[in-house]
Amino acid sequence: MYSTLKATVRQGKIELLEEATLPENSMLLVVVLDDVDPQGLSLGEHLIAGLQDVQLGRVKEVNSEQELTDHLDTIFSDT
């Protein structure tokens, strides 16, 4: 298991902000923090909420770029 890796989205693709060699077919947990506000939830609170989603089965496995795009479009249109 790896420690938390920071990443950003550039031109619609996830880009790691630090060097990491990941094994092929690794499964990643991605928590989108598009609304990080110093007066809102802390980074730790966002991560806890993301892990609670995993524990409660509120996760979506995507197997293609299009599936990810469709899923994120659905999430962000609901907010």
Per-residue pLDDT of the chain (79 residues; tens, 9 = 90+): 667 788 888 888 888 888 888 888 888 877 776 665 545 667 777 778 788 888 888 887 888 888 888 888 887 776 5
Give pLDDT, residue 40.
66
Q: What pLDDT, on a 0 to 100 scale, did the predictor assign at position 79?
A: 53
The span from the CA of 35 to the CA of 46, in Å, is: 10
pLDDT of residue 48: 84
What pLDDT was estimated at residue 72?
Answer: 80
Q: HEC string of the chain?
A: CCCCCCEEEECCEEEECCCCCCCCCCCCCCCCCCCCCCCCCCHHHHHHHHHHHHHCCCCCCCCCHHHHHHHHHHHHHCC
pLDDT at 9: 85
